[in-house]
Every structure is written in C-alpha cells, then in structure tokens.
Copies of this chain bind each other. A is one copy, B any other.
Amino acid sequence: MGAAVQKHVEIADFTPITPTAAISAAAHGGRAKCLQRLIRLDLPVPRTLALSVDQVRSIAAGRRPYTEQMLHELESPLVSVRPSSESADWGGPAAILNIGMCDRTHADLAVNLGERAADAIYARFIQAFAVHVARLDPEAFDLPARPDATTIASLLDAYETERGATFPQDPADQLADALRSMARSWDGPTARLLRQARGAPAEAGLGLVVQQMALGVGRRHEGESGSGVIQFIDSATGLPQITGRYLSQSQGREALLAEEGAIYLTQDPRGPSLEDIAPEILDTLTAHGTLCRRRLREEMQIEFTIDGGHLAILDAVRVPRSSRAGVRVAVALASDGVIPQAEAVARVEPRALSELLHPQVDPAHPPDVFASGIAASPGAATGRLVFSARAAQAAQAREEPCILVRRETTPDDVRGMHASVGVLTEKGGATSHAAVIARGLGLPCVVGAGGIAIDQRSATLTGDKGRTFREGDWITLDGTGGVALAGAVPLLEPALDDAFRTLLSWADDARDIGVRANADTPAEAQVARTFEAEGIGLCRTEHMFFEGDRLTVMREMIFTDNAEDREAALRRLLPVQRSDFVRLFRIMEGQPVCIRLLDPPLHEFLPAGPDALHDMAESLNLSLRSVTARVEALREFNPMLGMRGVRLGIAIPEIYEMQSRAIFEATVEAGGGVVPEIMVPLVSARREVELVKGRVDAVAAAVKAETGANFDYRLGVMVETPRAALRAEEIAANVAFLSFGTNDLTQMTYGLSRDDAGRFMGAYVAEGVFIEDPFLRLDVDGVGELLTLGAERGRAGHPGITLSVCGEHGGDPESIAFCRAAGFDYVSCSPFRVPLARLAAAQIALRDLGFPR
C-alpha cells in the first residue's frame, strides 16, 4: 500500500460486493449483480469482489490489476475467478479455482486437510493454470487418478519446460495472470462467434468476479465437505422437480462432471443422496431456492459448497432451459403471482417458440435411413439436397425448402443455414459450429455423420450401402433422432402443451394487431387453425395448378388460340379449383380467407429443356416445333417485371373470371361461414383494379342468380409495386383492403431481384453496404416509407380500409413493430410463424406499457 492517491486508484480497480455497493449488470455483468442480490437476501455468499467491464477491458489492454489489494480485501489464501458477462447466455472463459495455491499454501493445506487433499488441489490447480492461463499443451499436464508429491514435482517441471519460466509462486501474480488471461480470451474469435450467435452485440464486454474460495474439501470428522448444484425444475420440461448433483470432497461443478461418486440431492432408490447424509442442508437449500424464486422472480440454479458442514452459496444463475421449459416457467411464475401475466409474455423470446413448433418424423413410417450422426438440434424437416450456402440461398429464393449438406460448416455458411430447413454435416460434434448455429436458428441438425462421403464437384452424397444422392434430391432430416432419411417422409405436427397455449392466450390479451397466416393448401390452413391464426391473409392460387392433371389442363389453356377454347380448358379447371376452396373454407370456417388471383407469368407453367418439351408436345398432341415456338414466345427477359399478376388478368380475363366463380361457388357450397376476400396482384394503376372489379362483381351477380344464394365478399389489392403504394389513395377508393406484399415491393424499391441477389447479398451485408438483408428484415427507411405512405394514402382514399402486410416480413418481430406503428390491421405470415408473430406483437404492445423483454 502506498500514498492516499495510489490507494484511491487501487480501490477503483474492483468493487467489494456488499448489499449497498454500486453494482449493475451493465457495468459489472450479470453474475456480479446476481451475487449482490443473493447477498441482499442474506444468503451465505463468500466475500466477493467485482471487476467491471471497463476494468477488465483495461486489463486485457495490458494494465496490471491490483491483485495484492484484492487478495487483501478477500482475506483468503485461495480465491476463484468467474466470468460475469452482461447475459449468462453469452458465455465467457471457464472459471479458475484455487488461485493462491503455491508451495507455501500447499504446505499449509497439507497441515489442515492432509497431504492427499492438498496434493490433489495443488495438482489440479497447476494443471488448470497451465492449460487455461499459460495456454500450454494439455497433454503435458495429464493427471493420475491420485496425484501425490511426485505428481506435483513433475507438473512443476513440465510447467517450467513448456513455459520457459518457473510456476508463479506469488498468489498476486497468479491472480493477475488469471485475470489477464480471462480478459483476453473474451476477444478471441471463437468466443466472439459463439456469443454473437447467441445474440450478443459486437461491443458486449466481460466483467469478472473474484471470490473467497470455499474449499469443499476437508477432514471428514469436521463435518461434511463437498460441492454441488441444485435447481428446482426440470430443465427440459420446466416442471417442478429438485434436480442436481452433489459430490463430497469436491469443488466447483465437479459434481456435474464426475464419472463416479456424485450423488442425488433428494432420496432416490437408485443410490445415496444429499438428503440421506445432510437433510438439514437440503432443507436450507430448498428454502434458499424458494426465496430466490420469489424475490429474484426467476427459477435459479444454485452452486453451493459445504465446508465442514457449513453451507456457502457461491453463485446462482437462471436455470438453463429448453424453450418449452422457458414457456412453462414463465407461465408458472405468473400463475403463482410471482410476476404479472404480461411479464410472462414479455419474457419469452419469440424466436424460441419456433423450436417448440418443429415437426417430428412420424414414427409410424418405416424409416429409410441413409446416414446417422449426432442429434445436434431437434425437429425434423424435408427438403432438397444442396451442397453449398449459395445453392441454399438460391433454393430459398425459389421458395424451395432445402437441406444443406457440408463436410463441416464455417461462418461463411451461416447465410446458407439461414436459407435451409435443416443441416447435415459429415464432421463435428454437439458443440461444433454447425450444431451451435443450428440450435440458435431452431433448425433440425445432424452432425458428425461420418459414414457419408460428400463430393462437392459433382454435388453428390454417398450414404450407407453406397447409396448416392444428388443435388435437388428430396431427403428428410431427423434432428431429434440424429439420422437422415431418403425421400420426403411424413412429419408429425409438434405437440403444443397447455403452458404454450396459456402464454399465447395471454399474448392475445396484450396484442393489438391481427395475425393471419399465409396458407395455400388445406394442410397449411389446418396448421394456421391449430396455431390460432385469425384467418388466411394470403392464399396463393398458382400452386393449385401445378398438381398432376391440372398442369396439363393449365398448359392446354395457355396454348389455346381463342377465348372459346380457353374457356373450355378453364371450365375443366373450375371444379378442382372450387373443391380446393371448399376445403379451405371449411377448415377456416368463421374466419376470413384472402385469395390472391393468379400471379405468376404463364411460362412458369411450361416446361424447359428438350425432353420436357417433347413430353408436353405429346400430351397436348401438338408438334414439337409449335410447342417450342410458343414456349419461346412466352419467355421473358425479366419475368419478375413481365406479363404477370393483374396484367395477365386483364389480357386473359377468363382466368380471373374462372377463379372468381370457383371462389363464389365454393362460398355457397361451404355454407356461407366464410366471407371470401379476393386479392388482385401486381397492380400499378387504378384502372386495372376497376376492370377486374367490374368482372368479379359480374361473376358474383351471376353466381348469386344461378344459385339463388346470397353471400358477401371483399375485393382488395396486393400492393407490390412502388406505384401502387404511391397511388394508394385512388386505388383504395374502389376496394375493401390493401395488403402490402413486401417481398416484391422490396425487390422493386431496390431494383433488386431476390433470385439474383444471393450472389452478392452476403458481401453487401458483411461490408455494411446494406445494414440488413432487406428480404429478411423490412427496410424501414425505403420500403417502410412506401408502406407508411401507402397506408396513409389508402386511408385518405377510403377511411376505415383494412390494411395489412402479407410478405415474409409479416413474421419478423421488428417488421411487425413497424406495421403496428403504421396503423396496419394485421400481418400475415407462414403458418409456423403465427405463434411467434402473436407473441412478438404482444411484446411490442407491452413495450409501450413499459414491459421490456
């Protein structure tokens, strides 16, 4: 210690954690803050110091910490250091225990605890210090089952040989080295990648806590010594259950890692328990747990040590939990009156819900496994094989589900993983890059499928028994079972429990913007219904024309020369289209169904390549030459900007007339429980809508006259061109709703085709040219302005008009927040995103009321 000035500096280096100390999670990290809370609850926490994020940063930058003063303050020969990042989820360096072990302390311990315990502690410390602090080769520091004096000598030798310096004998030096090492490791690329995958901001910092060591090792006759971890719920299910492990004569989390000797906490027929040997300690722990739950308003996992019968609480963290358990805990805390319902809603990360929703492989289906590996992320998915991130993005752009197969993944693959429905790797383990990222994304993932051989050049995969699969082949990935199956296997819907439904019903109470689903098929409509979507916001009718025989009739229709033949072909499509709608309407009974009239250019229904053309010529009984010529004539330079949407509807009115008729006849047939909404795509001028509206109204009148039935319907416009947004006032005057198709609107506002953007979008986002991929997150500045402006003008032209978003952004929480602020009535998203959207929308509303997530 020196002069007063120096003393002041020394104190600024750390903060003793007391009930009144100025400790905050932002400045000192979550662990430091939590320890202060435990201290305030009068829990027996050993003396602890907090090093702030700024202090740790300056240590990483080279400043020597005032470790002498820390040790003085802690009044303990041995101390531990643990990371304290703002969120426990962000990871951090491993804890280092027993700092202060040196020849002198070793001798003292040998007197107090006996040679064997002292040797074991010293040996383990030298090993830990060598590997984690000095970063020496772990193989040089392997430990025997029972370390002794010889072991210690050889470890100290090994240290000197490998490090080129003697093992530090000054506890203050040891602590300084440990702090510096931990401070620096935070900026390593692995740590950075890992925490960013878990949502940490780039500037996230690390705090550290230095604590009196509670040994957990002592002479038996002085009372029980050991350490353990306890929590009061099951991490997987969230159901109440005392869970944990205890190991006599152990430190830290050894009980969790021990291969033998660890015991249960409560009495258990399978073996001994803490309750057997120290029932009063378990009672105390249980009381502590109850207190924590009530006062910390959270389910905590408590790390404790018993030193000669005395309980010490070293640390407590939020119980790590599955998404399902997270939902159940939030609901239980609210049900028990610990937190308000709204807070339960605010606590669950919407994206975590998707993990609960993943389908599973139907066990009734005989599995045709071609590869097995580690089940790295749960759920199952079906998609086409792709062998590169780029191919995955291209598939996504085509709206084709794909499964990405890689030898192993790197950060370059992350965008491709985003674009995939599942990931399969040949290499890697449960914590490999692929596994970590896939879990973060909620994607089914199988890693370490060593039996497969991947040939990138030919884009083929060889699995069990030499079976070969090519790019584009359909496979099914079972991330729960850790296997890959050939073909598109039937999947089971996920089971959604009561807590899930309760949470979403609370969310619906808070929510003030509607959520519908985009659903094209009865199966999707069923999912939408299951997830309690408030109707269908976008039913794309084109998929209905791709199935089997319909495609042939569709092609005949496209190839007709005159309105009469065209109508004849369309008359054949009418009943199938009508029955599609009847099924949809029955499923959605009582809810709105918004059907988009045919949108894609006709050439999408036509084949490419000589063989397919020949097939078509045969099936249509036309010459190959004429088929080729007509297909060629329909080809477009920029199909996205071509003869599609309402342009098609105006050029070939019979198509929309047939579709309207199918919708109205289905409305009558389904019994009138639905008010159908008819949406006109790709509008850019008012007159387009007037023409279509005139024809649709005429068809409605005809169907009413023919059937004698009465029904209501609403006609609206899909706003996808910038011009439709700009002219929304005059367009809105004639219609009941405007639904903004943000996918196409983004393409046109940027002048950027999603199909082609994959080539450079990764680099663009990485270089910060675009802050985000505007196809994943709504571009608030540009596209967003068109939305706001279109909404204002739409309301000006038609007060009370219904406004919505039906692009893929409809399921993105930030985009939902934008739409809500702009006064939209509802968003529509894919059926599986409906729960997420319901929850996100509730949280946005709650944020206004002061409930942060």
Cβ of A642 under 8 Å from chain B: yes
Complex A-B: 27 CB contacts under 8 Å: A397-B637, A636-B755, A637-B639, A638-B756, A641-B747, A641-B750, A642-B753, A643-B756, A643-B760, A650-B760, A650-B763, A650-B764, A651-B760, A682-B751, A685-B769, A687-B768, A721-B751, A722-B749, A722-B751, A722-B786, A723-B749, A723-B750, A723-B779, A726-B749, A726-B782, A726-B785, A748-B749
Whether A763 contacts B651 in the complex (CB less than 8 A), given A637-B756, A749-B722, A753-B642, comes out as yes
CA gap between A691 and B638 in the complex, in Å = 28
Per-residue interface assignment for chain A, residues 740 to 761, with 1 indicating a CB less than 8 Å from any chain B CB and 0 otherwise: 0000100111111101110110
Instruction: Please provide the chain A residues from 510 to 543 with a CB less than 8 Å away from any CB of chain B in the complex.
Output: none
Cβ of A408 under 8 Å from chain B: no
Are A685 and B770 within 8 A (Cβ)? yes
Interfacial chain B residues near A767, Cβ < 8 Å: 650, 691
Of the candidates B684, B687, B779, the one whose C-beta lies within 8 Å of that of A752 is B684
Cβ of A439 under 8 Å from chain B: no
Per-residue interface assignment for chain A, residues 714 to 731, with 1 indicating a CB less than 8 Å from any chain B CB and 0 otherwise: 000000111100110000
CA gap between A752 and B783 in the complex, in Å = 18
Are B722 and A782 within 8 A (Cβ)? yes
Are B641 and A752 within 8 A (Cβ)? yes
Task: Please give the distance in Å from A772's CB to the nearest CB on chain B.
Answer: 11
Task: Please give the distance in Å from A349's CB to the nearest CB on chain B.
Answer: 29
Of the candidates B643, B647, B751, B768, the one whose C-beta lies within 8 Å of that of A720 is B751
Please give me the residue from chain B that is nearest to A601 by CB atom: B756
Per-residue interface assignment for chain A, residues 304 to 337, with 1 indicating a CB less than 8 Å from any chain B CB and 0 otherwise: 0000000000000000000000000000000000
Interfacial chain B residues near A723, Cβ < 8 Å: 749-751, 779, 782-783
Are A769 and B650 within 8 A (Cβ)? yes
Cβ of A139 under 8 Å from chain B: no
Please give me the residue from chain B that is nearest to A768 by CB atom: B687
Interfacial chain B residues near A768, Cβ < 8 Å: 687
CA gap between A702 and B763 in the complex, in Å = 27
Residues of A within 8 A of B (CB): 397, 636-643, 647, 650-651, 682, 684-685, 687-688, 691, 720-723, 726-727, 744, 747-753, 755-757, 759-760, 763-764, 767-770, 779, 781-783, 785-786
Are B749 and A638 within 8 A (Cβ)? no
Interfacial chain B residues near A749, Cβ < 8 Å: 684, 721-723, 726, 748
Most buried by B among A637, A682, A687: A637
Of the candidates B650, B691, B721, B755, the one whose C-beta lies within 8 Å of that of A750 is B721
Are A647 and B760 within 8 A (Cβ)? yes
Task: Please give the distance in Å from A385's CB to the nearest CB on chain B.
Answer: 20
Known contacts A638-B639, A721-B752, then 10 further A-B pairs from the complex at CB < 8 Å, ordered by chain A residue: A637-B755, A643-B760, A647-B760, A684-B782, A688-B769, A691-B769, A722-B751, A723-B782, A726-B785, A748-B749
Are A640 and B641 within 8 A (Cβ)? yes
CA gap between A840 and B604 in the complex, in Å = 45
Interfacial chain B residues near A751, Cβ < 8 Å: 640-641, 682, 684, 720-723, 744, 748
Interfacial chain B residues near A760, Cβ < 8 Å: 643, 647, 650-651
Please give me the residue from chain B that is nearest to A783 by CB atom: B723
Closest 5 CB pairs of A and B: A641-B753, A638-B753, A642-B756, A721-B751, A723-B782
CA gap between A198 and B97 in the complex, in Å = 96
Are B782 and A687 within 8 A (Cβ)? no
Interfacial chain B residues near A687, Cβ < 8 Å: 768-770
CA gap between A722 and B790 in the complex, in Å = 14
Please give me the residue from chain B that is nearest to A691 by CB atom: B769
Are B763 and A636 within 8 A (Cβ)? no
CA gap between A757 and B651 in the complex, in Å = 12
Please give me the residue from chain B that is nearest to A723 by CB atom: B782
CA gap between A786 and B722 in the complex, in Å = 9
Are B637 and A637 within 8 A (Cβ)? no
Task: Please give the distance in Å from A624's CB to the nearest CB on chain B.
Answer: 17
CA gap between A445 and B420 in the complex, in Å = 59
Interfacial chain B residues near A785, Cβ < 8 Å: 726
Task: Please give the distance in Å from A758's CB to the nearest CB on chain B.
Answer: 10
